[in-house]
Structure 1
Amino acid sequence: MSNQLKDIFFQLLRIGLWGKGRLSMTQPMTSEDWNTIRKYAINHTVEGIIYDSFSFLEEQQLPPQSLRMKWVVRMDNIERQNEKMNTVIAEQFTLFSAMGLRPILLKGQGIASCYRIPNHRTCGDVDWYFDNNGYAEARDYLKKNSIKFRDTVGFSLDYAWRNICIEHHKKLFDIRSPFKLNYLRRLKEDYRDLEQTLTIEDTSIRLLAPELQLLQVNGHILKHMISFGIGLRQLCDSARLYHTSHTTINKEDLLEMYTKSGIIDWIHLLHKILVEYLGLPIDEIPFPYPENLDADWMMTEIWYSGNFGFHDERFEDGKIINAISSLPEGPKRLWKNFKRYVKYAPQEVFFFTLVHSYSRFIGKDSD
């Protein structure tokens, strides 16, 4: 994609994300330009956000009618998938709660509620965390009811429920340094009384306190950037979370969380990208980032990698080593990202590699 077209892409993304602004371009876009925009929107799972920009465009700026119809069909599918996912979330939360478990919904639809049009966020999996020993009890329920599941890398499991992918997580935060575990446990307890709820299909669903939700979501972004990359949707999630919570969060506490978790230098990079590329108002960032901070290189990596690294054209013809990853050139990509991010989150980069390997070969439940 040319730099000029890339600039238009980010203009459209900001307009759709915030519901304001006007598209500025020096010449009309061709059908080929629009097809390229659509391709990258799908690669980054932000096609719903780009679509939401159309109502702010002038008639001559809109994509061709035939492409708009394809986009409408895709939006209908996204909306239906969101509705189906909400039904499953309400059903599972009710089921697990009746079993005496205490599920908390992570990411996903909890973040979608922060968007202008929640049903236009491309949804992924349903992610559950359980208080106390709930993970083991929920896993035992799946076994007893012959629900096929798979224990996965990172101390999690996944399965299909009404054709929706469900994940259960033993760990609340994607912070892998063993030196941070006691601190993270205390955080979870300290913020228990500040949990939020979200009503989905007349069911009150538990969410983390806003500060913990930001730590959890941004830590998840970092985890994927250390491995194979992440797309723009997850950055949009972070931006919308900050936007909806910036007047209520304790900013000093959040700064302390990022600092004690060992990721504050990387958080500064993320914040600069949210402001300069996604248009998050700088006064909605909870604390200032250093002047003259260079984050463009990280945006370049995000741009190329696409959704969880699946669309990185730089490696599409590379070898696949399944023992490491199903993505092309897995070892090379991991090593490159190790070198890129070790300066900004040294403990996380180092221990992510160890814990990732441990959980792949040793740490999975084996019964």
Structure 2
Amino acid sequence: MTDIRFLSLLRYSISSKNKDAASLSSLSEEDWRGFIQQAGQQSVLGLCLDALDKLKSNGAMPPRNVLIKWIGSVMMLEKEYERQKVFIKELASFFSKHGLKMVVMKGYGLSKLYPIPKHRGSGDLDVYFCGKGQYADELIKEKGIEVKQNEEKHSVYSINGIHVENHASMICEQEHLSLLKVEVFLKDDLDKNLHLDEETGCWLPSAMFNVVFLPLHFAGHFVYGGANLRQIVDYALVVKNATINSDTNQIDWERVKALAIEGGYFKFLCCLNGICIDYIGISSDCFPNWQRYKDIEERMLAEVLNPTSVDVHSLPSKIKRYFKNRWKYQLVYSKESHLMGFLLRIRSWVNWKWGNKSVWNRK
């Protein structure tokens, strides 16, 4: 019941057709405190606060002391959002002077689809330079900033406390060979379909890129740990904006389906669409009429809201979690052997822990 009412609150910030206010009017102070904690854990604290204006007329409001604390937390999100926005503008300008287009993935670009962009919150800054990432790293090193390579997807560095990931690839295709063609599509789309963000001077991906990339980004966290509701909401709002809030339909669902079937994650994508319709409040008209798997949808959502494995740091614990989550792996990477996937992941971890590989040399 708690999860149902929490999702109802979340839907209120996204859909004006939500009719579940009655279930929120009887919440106790303890319930509201629990909601704030859960919203923070799911990275939707600001989004849930946006719902309160719509709930005033229904008497579904938290006690004043709880509301003040909530607003204070969201104000901190707003401050960090504005700080990162200024940072993006400065970094994009720096790279532009050297002839580079800085593409920002996820994060800032997705925030522009939210009812109040600065309520999405900020995390790491994921950037891409359309084949010129190594040159971008060299420019950063010339500024005396240490650049590390500790994963196969990207290099990393920090400036003024903001963590930047400079991507060589979008997904871990070297660990998941079934996604090679998806990776090719994503890079090709970034080469051809970028648009300039006038506010910051960075470049943003197309809706098609996001509709293909975001489910796989969420899927990786879903399988290996760290999935949250914000990742689902990001995808849901991309779909909503590209269909309802656009003059033209920007999503080629047949192409999306073909890539998902090729990559082996089509059933997972069907379930993600179903969650967006039934639990996030996005109209079914925004999505294709694909098969529904409601039992799997409920299991996926339950795992996101109440993960069975959290704060796993030791290698034995990670191995235990990996095999315990076989059903997730088979849902997302259905064309791959779970055991082979485990071996490839271990190989990748060893290569980047002790090897001499470079993300800019993929051979």
Normalised by the length of structure 2, the TM-score is 0.86
Aligned residues of 1:265 and 1:345 also touching (Cα < 8 A): no
Aligned residues of 1:96 and 1:103 also touching (Cα < 8 A): yes
| Pair 1:193-2:192 in alignment | yes
Deviation sequence 1:76-131 (CA, Å, 0-9, x none): 11111111111111111121222233332111111111111111102211100121
- Could you list the runs of 5+ residues in structure 2 that have no partner in the other structure? 244-248, 359-363
Q: 1:190 to 1:38 in 2, by over 3 A?
A: closer
SS in 1 for 2:145: coil
Aligned residues of 1:272 and 1:289 also touching (Cα < 8 A): no
| Pair 1:358-2:337 in alignment | no
Q: 1:150 to 1:90 in 2, by over 3 A?
A: same
Aligned residues of 2:263 and 2:333 also touching (Cα < 8 A): no
Q: 1:73 to 1:207 in 2, by over 3 A?
A: same
Aligned residues of 1:16 and 1:49 also touching (Cα < 8 A): yes
Q: Which residue of 1 aligns with 2:116?
A: 117
| Pair 1:342-2:305 in alignment | no
SS in 2 for 1:100: coil
Deviation at 1:183, TM superposition (A): 5.6
* Total equivalences in the alignment: 347
Aligned residues of 2:102 and 2:128 also touching (Cα < 8 A): yes
Aligned residues of 1:103 and 1:129 also touching (Cα < 8 A): yes
Partner amino acid, structure 1, of 2:348 = S
* Residue of 208, 212, 217 corresponding to 2:214: 217
Aligned residues of 2:5 and 2:23 also touching (Cα < 8 A): yes
Identity of aligned residues (%): 22
SS in 2 for 1:260: helix
| Pair 1:126-2:128 in alignment | no
Distance in 2, matches of 1:340 and 1:244, equals 29
| Pair 1:296-2:298 in alignment | yes
Deviation at 1:292, TM superposition (A): 5.5
Distance in 1, matches of 2:6 and 2:14, equals 12
Distance in 2, matches of 1:85 and 1:264, equals 35
Alignment of 1:1-367 (within 5 A): 3=1, 5-22=2-19, 23-25=21-23, 28-58=26-56, 60-132=59-131, 134-175=132-173, 176-182=175-181, 184-185=183-184, 188-189=187-188, 192-201=191-200, 203=201, 205-246=202-243, 247-290=249-292, 294-305=296-307, 320-321=313-314, 323=315, 329-347=317-335, 350=338, 353-363=342-352
Aligned residues of 2:351 and 2:357 also touching (Cα < 8 A): no
Deviation sequence 1:206-236 (CA, Å, 0-9, x none): 2222111211111100111110140111111
Aligned residues of 1:154 and 1:355 also touching (Cα < 8 A): no
Deviation at 1:34, TM superposition (A): 0.8
Deviation at 1:11, TM superposition (A): 0.7
Distance in 1, matches of 2:85 and 2:190, equals 26
Deviation sequence 1:269-324 (CA, Å, 0-9, x none): 1111111111111111134233666311111111113xxxxxx6x656xx741x47
Distance in 1, matches of 2:31 and 2:80, equals 28
Distance in 2, matches of 1:188 and 1:21, equals 38
Distance in 2, matches of 1:347 and 1:197, equals 37
Distance in 2, matches of 1:194 and 1:56, equals 37
RMSD between aligned residues: 2.5
Normalised by the length of structure 1, the TM-score is 0.86
Deviation at 1:344, TM superposition (A): 4.4
SS in 1 for 2:75: helix
Moved more, 156-165 or 342-351: 342-351
- Could you list the runs of 5+ residues in structure 1 that have no partner in the other structure? 306-311
Deviation at 1:191, TM superposition (A): 6.4
Q: 1:354 to 1:96 in 2, by over 3 A?
A: farther
Deviation at 1:341, TM superposition (A): 2.9
Aligned residues of 1:192 and 1:209 also touching (Cα < 8 A): no
